[in-house]
């Protein structure tokens, strides 16, 4: 993944993670903690996605408009991104149907299906 693709993936993951956190109508501290671990504010600021106060910057919207470019990534890279997002959805040990809907939409944005994600999760679980 080159720097431009990494920037797009980061914007996509930030946006989708926020949608997952908001989807079930309740926010768990662990969800914020996980997001802060995966995407620390300094890293997001350095990428120009948020400002010093955590507010979205125009670069985030610009990147989100180019998400379809992530479809050019190898399938394994796109699945890695989805698995990361699935982990964010599962941090509270409950996959709400609204969170699943966000994951399904994310898969489609990446040119994948929910079945692709499920197969990858099962493969990872089998590998231990």
Q: Give tens-digit pLDDT for 29-64.
A: 777 777 778 788 899 999 999 999 989 999 999 999
What is the model's pLDDT at position 89?
A: 85
| Domain total of the chain | 1
What value does the mean pLDDT take over residues 7-11? 93
pTM of the model: 0.88
- Where in the sequence is the domain holding 58, given as residue range(s)? 3-127
What's the CATH number where 68 sits?
1.10.3680
Residues 67 and 73: beta-carbon distance below 8 Å: no
75 pLDDT band, cuts 50/70/90, is very high
Give 71-76's long-range contacts (Cβ < 8 A, gap of 24+). 71/110, 71/111, 72/5, 73/1, 73/5, 73/9, 73/110, 75/112, 75/116
CA 40, CA 54: separation in Å to the nearest integer? 11
């Amino acid at each position: 993944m080159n720097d431009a693709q990494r920037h797009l993936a980061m914007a996509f993951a930030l946006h989708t993670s926020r949608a997952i956190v908001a989807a079930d109508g309740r926010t768990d501290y662990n969800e914020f903690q996980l997001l802060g671990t995966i995407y620390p504010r300094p890293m997001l600021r350095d990428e120009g996605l948020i400002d010093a106060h955590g507010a979205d910057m125009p670069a985030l919207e610009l990147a989100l408009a180019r998400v379809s470019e992530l479809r050019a990534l190898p399938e394994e890279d796109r699945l890695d991104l989805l698995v990361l997002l699935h982990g964010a959805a599962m941090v509270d040990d409950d996959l709400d149907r609204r969170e699943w809907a966000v994951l399904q939409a994310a898969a489609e944005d990446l040119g994948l299906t929910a079945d692709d994600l499920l197969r990858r999760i099962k493969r990872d679980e089998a590998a231990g």
